[in-house]
Amino acid sequence: MLTARSSFEAHLYMDLHPCVCGSGDFDRQHRLEQHGDDLVAVYEGPCRQCGTVRRFDFRMAEEISPPPPAFGGAQPSQIIDPGEFAEVAFRISESAGIQLLNSPESEHDKLRDAVAYALAAFQETLKFVPPGADSIPAEAFTSEVGKARYQREPGNFDRDILEGNVALAQTVLDDIDEVSRPPQTPRQ
């Protein structure tokens, strides 16, 4: 059974694993079940495109995860590999970056959640670098998407590059917070 560190991670996993028809969109009904000592989150519902009933069962990790947009605690994911996190992070950052460049600062706050999500995904990639190592080992890439990304760009999974991605995303998020901060009211 899959082990998810948070519901946020479970939802990303489902988004990354579409229906056999190719659609990733399904009406997710959620419930919790107790299976022995394990708390299991069950997501089930019909695919919006073909009607096939989809079901995902996730054993929830015992560690309480940080609040969203974090995907989990200090340990790397067991169900999403670093290449998948990188793919999501770059896709969202590129889209948000284009929108930030083409919108007035007064509207940048609308993109805050997307940038925070990308930052969380970049942070997840770093968790796959073993202590004392300079990069993510090739065997950490277990999905087709992850393996393909690693094959194309192995150097992008070096610690210094990953730390740079995190720092850049954090800077963009800090800038959004700076320009989107509500005006301070005068003290009474």
Q: Is 184's pLDDT higher than 90?
A: no
- The pLDDT score that the predictor gives to residue 185 is 46
* Mean pLDDT of all residues in 1-22: 96
* Mean pLDDT of all residues in 42-67: 95
* Gap between the Cα atoms of 136 and 6, Å rounded: 23
CB 171 within 8 A of CB 117: no
* Mean pLDDT of all residues in 68-83: 96
DSSP the chain: -EEESSHHHHHHHHHHS--TTS---B--EEEEEEETTEEEEEEEEEBTTT--EEEEEEEEPSSPPPSTT---SSSPPSSS-HHHHHHHHHHHHHHHHHHHHTS-GGGGGGGHHHHHHHHHHHHHHHTTSPTT-SB--GGG--SHHHHHHHHH-GGGGBHHHHHHHHHHHHHHHHHHHHHHPPPPPPP-
- The pLDDT score that the predictor gives to residue 64 is 87
The model's confidence at residue 164, banded by pLDDT at 50, 70 and 90, is very high
- The pLDDT score that the predictor gives to residue 65 is 85
Question: Mind listing the domains of the chain with CATH numbers?
Answer: 2-60 (2.20.25), 82-180 (no CATH)
Q: Is 181's pLDDT higher than 90?
A: no
- The pLDDT score that the predictor gives to residue 183 is 54
